[in-house]
Chain A
Amino acid sequence: MSLLQPVFDIVLGLALLWLAWRAVASPDLFRGIVLFIAFGLVMALVWVRLDAPDIALAEAAIGGGLTGALLLATLARLESGGGAGTGRGKDRESEPNDE
Chain B
Amino acid sequence: MAREPGGEKIVNPNPMMSNGNNCQRLFRLLLGLLLAVLAAGLGYVLSSLPSPAPGLSKPVAEHLEASGVSNPVTAVLLNYRAYDTLLELGVLLLAPLGVWSLGVAARHREPLVDPVLDMLARLLVPMLILVAGYLLWAGAHAPGGAFQAGSVLAAAGVLLLLSGWWPGPAFSGLPLRVSLTAGPGVFLVAGVALMFAGGRMLEYPPPFAGALILLIEAAATWSIGITLAALFAGGRPVAGPHR
Spell out A's residues near B (CB within 8 Å).
21-22, 25-28, 31, 53-54, 56-58, 61-62, 65-66, 69-70, 73, 76-77, 80, 82-89
**Do the beta carbons of B103 and A58 come within 8 Å of each other?**
no
**B80 located at the interface, meaning its Cβ lies under 8 Å from any Cβ of chain A in the complex:** no
16 sampled A-B residue pairs with Cβ under 8 A:
A25-B5, A27-B7, A31-B1, A57-B148, A58-B147, A58-B151, A61-B151, A61-B155, A62-B147, A62-B151, A70-B231, A77-B234, A80-B108, A83-B102, A84-B99, A85-B104
The answer to whether A84 touches B104, judged by C-beta atoms less than 8 angstroms apart, is: yes
- Quick one: which of A54, A66, A80 contacts B158, CB cutoff 8 A? A66
Contacts of B9 in A (CB 8 A): 27
Cα separation A22 to B9 with both chains bound (whole Å): 15
Cross-chain pair count, CB within 8 angstroms:
77
Do residues B235 and A61 form an inter-chain contact, with CB atoms below 8 A?
no
Contact A27 B3 (CB under 8 A): yes
User: Which B residues are CB-close (under 8 A) to A28?
Assistant: 1
> How far does the alpha carbon of A65 sit from the alpha carbon of B109 in the complex, in Å?
21
Distance between Cα atoms of A21 and B6 in the complex (Å)? 10
Q: Quick check: B7 and A84 within 8 Å, CB to CB? A: no
Separation of A28 and B9 alpha carbons in the complex (Å): 11
A88-B102 CB under 8 A given contacts A54-B145, A57-B135, A77-B108: yes
Q: Which residues of the other chain, A, contact B147 by a CB distance below 8 angstroms?
A: 58, 62
Q: Is the interface of A mostly helix, strand, loop or mixed?
A: helix
Min distance, Cβ B230 to any Cβ of chain A, angstroms: 11
Determine if A66 and B155 form an interchain contact, defined as CB atoms under 8 angstroms apart.
yes
* Bound-complex Cα distance A55 to B9 (A): 37
With an 8 A cutoff between CB atoms, is B20 at the interface?
Answer: no
A58 near B108 with CB under 8 A, answer no
Whether A22 pairs with B5 at a CB distance below 8 angstroms is: yes
Write out the residue numbers on chain A whose beta carbons fall within 8 Å of the beta carbon of B108.
Answer: 73, 76-77, 80, 82
Q: Distance (Å) between the CB of A87 and the closest chain B CB?
A: 7
* B239: Cβ under 8 A from any A Cβ: no
Supplied contacts A66-B155, A69-B158, A70-B231, 12 more A-B pairs, CB within 8 Å: A21-B5, A25-B5, A53-B143, A57-B135, A57-B148, A65-B151, A65-B155, A66-B232, A82-B106, A83-B103, A84-B235, A85-B235
Whether B154 is near chain A, meaning CB under 8 Å from some CB there, is yes
* Shortest distance from the beta carbon of A74 to any chain B beta carbon, whole Å: 8
Is B103 a contact partner of A88 (Cβ separation < 8 A)? yes
Bound: A31/B1 CA distance, A: 10
Q: Which residues of the partner chain B approach A80 to less than 8 Å between Cβ atoms?
A: 108-109
Ranked nearest first, the 4 interchain pairs of A and B with the lowest CB-CB distance are: A85-B103, A84-B235, A61-B151, A25-B5
B148 and chain A: residue at smallest CB distance? A57
Given contacts A57-B143, A57-B148, A84 and B155 within 8 Å (CB-CB): no
A25, A69, A76, A86 interface centre (most CB from chain B within 10 Å)? A69
